[in-house]
Structure 1
Amino acid sequence: MRYLVILIFVLISCKNSTNNKSESNTFEDIHSKAIFVDSHNDILLQTMEKGYVIDDNLKGKTHSDLDRMKKGGLDVQFFSVWSNGNQINPYNFANIQIDSLDAVIKRNPKKIVKVSNTEELLSVVGQNKIAALIGLEGGHQIEDDLNKLDSIYNRGVRYLTLTWNNSTKWATSASDETKKDGALNSEEKKGLTQFGKEIINRMNKLGIIIDVSHVGEQTFWDVITNTKKPIIASHSSVYNICPHHRNLKDNQIKAIAKNDGVIQINFSSGFLDSTVGKKEDEFLEKHKSEIDSLKLSGVNQYLAEELMYPKYRQESEKLKAPFNLLIDHIEYIIKLVGIDYVGIGSDFDGMVLPPKQLNDVTKYPLITKALLEKGYSEKDIAKILGGNILRVLKANE
């Protein structure tokens, strides 16, 4: 069954599979023919925090907008729905974000359509429209209620990131599990609780993909033990290249491959380049007084810090990772476990430092160009750009 599913998505991960001779096609041709899937974009957060409308031209303000997504060859977008752990009524806040996406879709039926399964997705892509799905980033948003899990599935959520940086009552986050002075001081407190395992079981039955980006290592291994369906890491990268606590170690990458899941590489420079974290800390410390002033005026910590990057653009540009490091992370996974287990989860508009050259969604084709120059076939490139995660989506339905 595993290889049948892989074969199906080798066949459908190109919009036009009649010609697979890479040598006769430009990278633009290959990129255009592949079904390109980005598993993580936070543009809905920008609409909530800054009042942007994603069917407007937001060039120079955000990494994404509807027309630029299409210009970059995007076919399928998992829109992230997020709130931090202190959000009051997070389930309601999540539904407001979904409402905002639905409003965009209603205004632009010729450009974007919400889909609920791979059959609908392929139909929409065949009409040259963007297929929209939703990823819920942070299990706290279901408010410990299985009925709310069912409800968000009915609204189009097709993956759930079990935790954000905050832990839930039923799963521990990577941030909390790695804190030296955090609330978690014993092994017994780490991982999934019995209720957490019930959530995993319910997700498997509904067809919501389990996303292990942001979860702690013990939670990760508990998921591997309990899931009956393939999982994803929707926006994570490789720990052995960049030892960020949110990146995946070799044994985790191998476990995801054995599970027939997929790791979707995060574009954020701090996840790609091990030197960025320290430089970014120094940048924020330099502008601490300004950040503190913004916080006193009512701006939240994340937004206050984010505002420093465009304001001091010359400084922040120097913090960005080299573009080739993004390709290094993709290739690392390919060399470790194979071509079938890696994809793209940009984190555009949820981070401020994409790698050099890849400054917005219109630059996606640069990835295809780099992979082609590395000698990858059109078929393999199609797997990386979308075929692999489409396989996992299908396997969860």
Structure 2
Amino acid sequence: MSYTTPIIFDGHNDVLSKLYRAGGLPAAETFVTGRDGAIDLKKAAKGGFGGGFFALYVPSPIDVDFKFQQMTKPQYDLPLPEPIDWEDALPVVMSQAAILFDLERRDVLKVCRTVDDIRNAMAADKIAAIFHIEGAEAIDPDLHTLEVLYQAGLRSLGPVWSRNTVFGHGVPFRYPSSPDIGDGLTDHGLRLVRRCSELSIMIDLSHLNEAGFWDVARHSQKPLVATHSNAHAICPHARNLTDDQLMAIAESDGMVGVNFAVAFLRDDGRMVADVPIEQMLRHLDHLITKLGEDRVGLGSDYDGAVMPEGLTSVADLPKLRQTMKEHGYDNMLIEKLCHANWLRVLEKTWGS
């Protein structure tokens, strides 16, 4: 087996917000020519990166360096950032969506609305991109914006990032901690979940606290999916999933994408990059035990978090495949983890 295959379809990246902060549409050119970041066209070709969920994310005015420094400590509890108003969030999401569609116009990726779109893009060696929103600040309570964004191609949505919205409550960056922190979904949030189920927009559970998780589980008609989350049994971080949550995901025939962010991988929860790739395999093994081989994949968080030293960009993905092989995973399981399981759960959520 070549370590550049099977192709990897990934549960989460933040390259659009990085391009937005680097200058917006003019910065999109660097995705083609090469950029100082985790994902671009050249790195994707080198690593066998076939696409994934491209998140539109509205940044909070926080000191990121201070946040990451606090997360290197043995214990930390960062306060939730302040909520962002719809009027402020919508222009940011529109600007990032414009970058996504500009990349499609440049013919370097395909915005995929169906699983067939994903398969066709990957078969044509084109990056397959899902239009995903991380944190629903740009959605108004009447859900008018949701309807418009769906027509534009939105197919996946996280009701919150790690801050509160009119729809629900985020989970803070806290270690050690249970995810059972605060209230769940609001009445607006329940309406959002029901409408997303009707439209077959996938709900992403990754930044919801435990109460919000169970609210989605009760009200969604679709498989439960966490695009970039890890095992709380290994790393007891507030952002990770307990075994009870994993059981609910398995019962719904859902999916978890393993997050590469080091604070959610390490046993000690520290944002320190000295993490062997084998630590990721510990999370994969646990998730496979709890969910089964058909319900686990990858959800890197590339361009959005501190990565292990050996996996700093998608160009490094052959190392992950090699480690999987050396760990004893057979070719069929590696293919499932790399992309087949994502296509399976999306087909259940969207149809073909």
How many residue pairs are counted as aligned between the two chains? 320
Q: What pairs with 1:308-347 in structure 2 (closer than 5 Å)?
A: 319-347=273-301
Deviation at 1:144, TM superposition (A): 2.1
AA of the residue aligned to 1:81: L
Deviation at 1:195, TM superposition (A): 2.4
**Following the alignment from structure 2 to structure 1, what is the Cα–Cα distance between the partners of residues 295 and 276?**
23
AA of the residue aligned to 2:218: T
Q: Is the 8 A contact 2:53 2:129 kept in 1?
A: yes
AA of the residue aligned to 2:313: D
* Equivalence for 1:355: 308
* Equivalence for 1:93: 92
Q: Is the 8 A contact 1:137 1:161 kept in 2?
A: yes
Q: Is the 8 A contact 1:166 1:176 kept in 2?
A: no
- 1:41 matches 2:13: yes
**Following the alignment from structure 2 to structure 1, what is the Cα–Cα distance between the partners of residues 191 and 275?**
40
AA of the residue aligned to 1:388: N
Q: What pairs with 1:77-226 in structure 2 (closer than 5 Å)?
A: 77-83=52-58, 84=60, 85-86=83-84, 89-107=88-106, 109=107, 111-175=108-172, 190-226=183-219
**Following the alignment from structure 2 to structure 1, what is the Cα–Cα distance between the partners of residues 259 and 18?**
18
Q: What pairs with 1:183-332 in structure 2 (closer than 5 Å)?
A: 190-277=183-270, 280=271, 319-332=273-286
Among all aligned residue pairs of Structure 1 and Structure 2, give the percentage whose two residues are the same amino acid.
31
Q: Is the 8 A contact 1:140 1:168 kept in 2?
A: yes
Give me the CA root mean square deviation: 2.3
Q: Is the 8 A contact 1:116 1:133 kept in 2?
A: yes
Q: Is the 8 A contact 1:163 1:215 kept in 2?
A: yes
Q: What pairs with 1:58-73 in structure 2 (closer than 5 Å)?
A: 58-59=34-35, 61-73=36-48
Q: Against the structure 1 CA distance between its residues 344 and 389, is the aligned structure 2 distance closer, same or farther, given a 3 Å change threshold?
A: same
Q: Against the structure 1 CA distance between its residues 344 and 100, is the aligned structure 2 distance closer, same or farther, given a 3 Å change threshold?
A: same
Cα distance per residue 1:117-160 (max 9 Å; x no partner): 01122112111211111210002221323121111222222111
Q: Secondary structure at the match of 1:139?
A: coil
* Equivalence for 1:55: 31
Point out the structure with the larger helix share: 1
AA of the residue aligned to 2:115: T
* Equivalence for 1:5: none
Deviation at 1:250, TM superposition (A): 0.7
Cα distance per residue 1:327-365 (max 9 Å; x no partner): 1111111122311111111001011x2112111111112
Q: Against the structure 1 CA distance between its residues 55 and 319, is the aligned structure 2 distance closer, same or farther, given a 3 Å change threshold?
A: closer
Deviation at 1:35, TM superposition (A): 4.2
AA of the residue aligned to 2:316: K
AA of the residue aligned to 1:161: G
Q: Is the 8 A contact 2:249 2:291 kept in 1?
A: no
Q: Against the structure 1 CA distance between its residues 226 and 179, is the aligned structure 2 distance closer, same or farther, given a 3 Å change threshold?
A: farther
TM-score, normalised via structure 2 length = 0.85
Deviation at 1:231, TM superposition (A): 2.4
**Following the alignment from structure 1 to structure 2, what is the Cα–Cα distance between the partners of residues 160 and 99?**
17
Unaligned runs of 5+ in 2: 61-82
AA of the residue aligned to 1:227: S
**Following the alignment from structure 2 to structure 1, what is the Cα–Cα distance between the partners of residues 57 and 279?**
27
Unaligned runs of 5+ in 1: 1-25, 281-317
Q: Is the 8 A contact 1:327 1:367 kept in 2?
A: no
- 1:379 matches 2:332: yes
**Following the alignment from structure 1 to structure 2, what is the Cα–Cα distance between the partners of residues 35 and 390?**
12
Q: Secondary structure at the match of 1:75?
A: strand
Q: Is the 8 A contact 1:231 1:392 kept in 2?
A: no
* Equivalence for 1:22: none
AA of the residue aligned to 1:260: D
TM-score, normalised via structure 1 length = 0.76
* Equivalence for 2:66: none
* Aligned counterpart in structure 2 of residue 392 of structure 1, from 335, 345, 349: 345
Q: Is the 8 A contact 1:326 1:355 kept in 2?
A: no
Deviation at 1:276, TM superposition (A): 4.8
